[in-house]
Amino acid sequence: MTGQIIGYVILGAVLLLLAIMIIRALALRKPERSCSEYTPADIDRDALSNKLQGAVRIKTVTLPDNDADGSIFFEYQKYLETTFPAVMAAAEKTNVNKYAVIYKVAGSDPELLPAAVLAHQDVVPAEPEGWEVDPFGGVIKDGYVWGRGSQDMKSQMIAALEGLEILLKEGKKPRRTLLFCFGHDEELRGTYGALEISKYLEAQNVRLEYVIDEGGTILDGKLLGIDNKIALVGTCEKGYADFILEIEKDGGHASAPTRRTAVGLLGEALYRVEKKKMRPFWTQPTKEMFKALAPYMNFGFRLALANRDILSALLKPVLCLVSPFTNCLMRTTLAPTQAEGASTPNTLPGVARGTVNARINTGETVEEVRAHIQKTVGNHVKISTLEGSIDPSPVSDTDSEAYKLLAKTIDEVFNGYIVAPYPFIAASDAKHYYRLTNNVYRFTPFEKTVEDANRIHGLNERQDIAQLAQGTQFFKRLYENTLY
């Protein structure tokens, strides 16, 4: 009888726990949408696409260093200054560290903290081989502007400027000051551009109400059991590091190989790094993301996320397996990207080197990742870190008025898409601005197809003109909600 009683007790406890879990899932409620009136602005798509076309045609490829000739960036700035006459007539221009630039449009109320809109002038290189069009021709066809930088990120820059251009031409002067901060080396970590701009503003005792940069994205919610689109706002970004793994062995002729070669040992080390993944864990921004999304999920997903604390041991590995995207949210990722041995095929190199690219999760550091790799590969492998490594950024405030107004703007312009914070898994100039505000957000207001997103930094990059117009509507509405 005692065993039977224990069985009943266990069964009762399980049923009670299950009931509690179900009640917690059912208790999740979608927040009510605001009922503000919003009418999308009429956008002249032909004129807008022509503005992006002209921007793409100026070949602002990232400089190798700040001592190189960057006169092309002055040409690009001159183009902006003639293309957006109302903005530039109201703006005060300041060049920082040669080629970075601030356009300050003063508001009527000096008591309000300024807002900052970021974009980078530079683009990655593009050779014509494999392109359907000249990569710097700014060709318009099939409803797209084609060319390097058309997505990354001259489109966002043009949309941001055009949004204010429209308002100023309507005679609407902002109450809050707006700073357009355009770096020139984002593709090389932003140390000459965005970092120097933020230092300059700090020296001027500037504090900011908010910063918005490229980053967040719009996804199909079906991946997470949601029958709607999800607009993700990056509230932080992962750290970044490139680790060099180096192995020294006796070199010589490949006809008489040693028992273990440098290249063989390197391959083994890279395999171990790829196999021995870093632990998944719940970060603050990941928790905030799933908390915001859970009420919209189907019941199975909602049951799991509402009881994350109970099901954590199961959920973490599942999310790591669902997709590369959810895996990136849960852990630091380590990706072997390069390997180097001898310069000729019949030589045993004395040194073999490989590169591991790390995107470091909030709560971990470059040094912790280096230690993990060293433990994984053993002390016979020398590990060094390339210049430009950086720990994860701080996490921005999602309870601020700035975030709420950003979310409101997205809801209005994208007609009810679900807004959620998330940890941006790549890198942006925004990480350099936390010295000026904790309201640093990343959102790209273009609904890209997977195919077009994969063209960024690749062949046949192009920007959908309809999305360019909607992005302009987004910035115009953001200004109306936050500057006026």
Do 352 and 339 form a contact (C-beta atoms < 8 A)? yes
Catalytic: 65? no
Q: Could you tell me which residues come within 8 angstroms of residue 197 by beta carbon, excluding any fewer than 6 positions away?
A: 96, 97, 100, 102, 181, 183, 432
Contact 456, 267 (CB under 8 A): no
Edge-first strand order for the sheet with 462-464 is 140-141, 144-146, 462-464
Known active-site residue 122: yes
Q: Which of 162, 165, 186, 214 is catalytic?
A: 186
Tell me how long the chain is: 484
- The span from the CA of 140 to the CA of 137, in Å, is 9
**3-class DSSP state for residue 103?**
strand
Tokens of 6: 């224990």
As beta bridge partners, residue 423 has: 236
* Residue partners of 330: CB distance under 8 A and separation at least 6: 280, 281, 282, 286, 316, 319, 320, 361
What type of residue sits at position 126? A
Q: 187 phi and psi, to 5 degrees? A: -70, -10
Which H or E element spans position 359?
Answer: strand 351-360
Strands 382-385 and 239-248: antiparallel
Helix 154-169 to helix 45-56 angle (10° resolution) is: 130
Asked whether the beta carbons of 446 and 472 are under 8 A apart, the reply is no
Q: Which of 94, 38, 360 is nearest to 206 (CA)?
A: 94
Burial of 108 (0-12, 13-18, 19+ CB in 10 A): exposed
Contact 294/301 with Cβ under 8 angstroms?
yes
Give the separation between CA 476 and CA 481, rounded to whole angstroms: 9
For the chain, how many helices (H) and strands (E)? 15, 18
Burial profile 393-421: b = 16 or more Cβ within 10 angstroms, e = fewer: bebbbbebebbebbbbbbbbbbeebbbbb
Query: What residues are labeled active site?
Result: 122, 186
